[in-house]
Amino acid sequence: MNTLTLRAVMRYGEGLDLRDWKKIIKYEVCGLPPGEEAWIADMDHRWQILRAKNSVSGEWAGDYKSAEDALAVLQKEFDGET
């Protein structure tokens, strides 16, 4: 069983110093099988998932309260497939 993790890929903030940009608004999901990719992003105050398989992506979907909630759904799906 592989554990999926999040890697921040996009932040939001103000000012010229990017270190002050604290709010993460998009994550890449790490730990998926080869050929599969997923991202989780804050879309209008709800977290959604975008999945891709063999470089073909679907559409943003879901309505989760947090990135962690969205990741838990992906983890459950992944665990069911193995």
User: Kindly report the CA angle at 6 between 61 and 39, in degrees rounded to 5?
Assistant: 30
Backbone angles phi, psi at 4, to 5 degrees: -80, 145
Dump pLDDT digits (tens) for 3-54: 999 999 987 766 666 566 678 899 999 999 999 999 999 998 899 999 999 9
In the chain, % of residues over pLDDT 90: 70
Domain, as residue range, for 42: 5-81
Residue 82 has a pLDDT of 47
Pair 11, 23: CB distance under 8 Å: yes
* Average pLDDT in the chain: 89
Angle formed at CA 12 by CA 78 and CA 10, multiple of 5 degrees: 40
Please report which confidence band the pLDDT of residue 78 belongs to, taking 50, 70 and 90 as the band edges: confident
Average pLDDT over residues 65-78: 95
The domain tally of the chain equals: 1
| Rounded Cα–Cα distance for residues 42 and 34 (Å) | 25
